[in-house]
A and B are shown apart, each in its own frame.
Chain A
Amino acid sequence: MKMGIMVLEGPYQHQAADSAYGFVQAALARGHEIVGIFLYTDGVNNINQFIKPPGERNISTRFDELAEQGIPVVACTACAKFRGLRPNLKTEHTRMSGLGSLSEYLQTADRFVTFGD
Chain B
Amino acid sequence: MNTVAVLMRKAPYGSVYTAEGFRTLMGIAVFEMDISVVFMDDGVYALLEDQDPSKLDMKPLGDGFPMLTEFDVSKFYVHDQSLADRGLTTDDLLMDVELVDGAQIAQILADAGKVLPF
Binding site for B on A (CB under 8 A): 4, 6, 8, 40-41, 78, 98-100, 102-103, 106-107, 109, 111-112, 114, 116
- Minimum-distance CB pairs A-B, first 4: A99-B27, A112-B114, A103-B31, A103-B28
- Please list the residues of chain B having a beta carbon within 8 angstroms of any beta carbon in chain A: 2, 4, 16-17, 20, 23-24, 26-28, 30-31, 33, 113-118
Report the minimal beta-carbon distance from B71 to chain A, rounded to whole angstroms: 13
Q: Is the CB of B24 within 8 A of A112?
A: no
Are A107 and B20 in contact, with the CB atoms below 8 A?
no
- How would you classify the secondary structure of chain A's contact residues: helix, strand, loop or mixed? mixed
Collect the chain A residues with CB atoms within 8 Å of residue B26's CB: 99
Whether A107 contacts B2 in the complex (CB less than 8 A), given A6-B116, A112-B114, comes out as yes
- Which chain A positions have C-beta within 8 A of B16? 41
Q: Which single residue of chain B is at the shortest CB-CB distance from A105?
A: B114
B28 and A40 contacting across the interface, CB-CB below 8 Å: no
Q: Are B33 and A106 in contact (CB under 8 A)?
A: yes
CA A6 to CA B115, docked complex, whole Å: 11
State A98–B23 Cα separation when bound (angstroms). 11
Q: Which residues of B contact A78 (CB under 8 A)?
A: 23
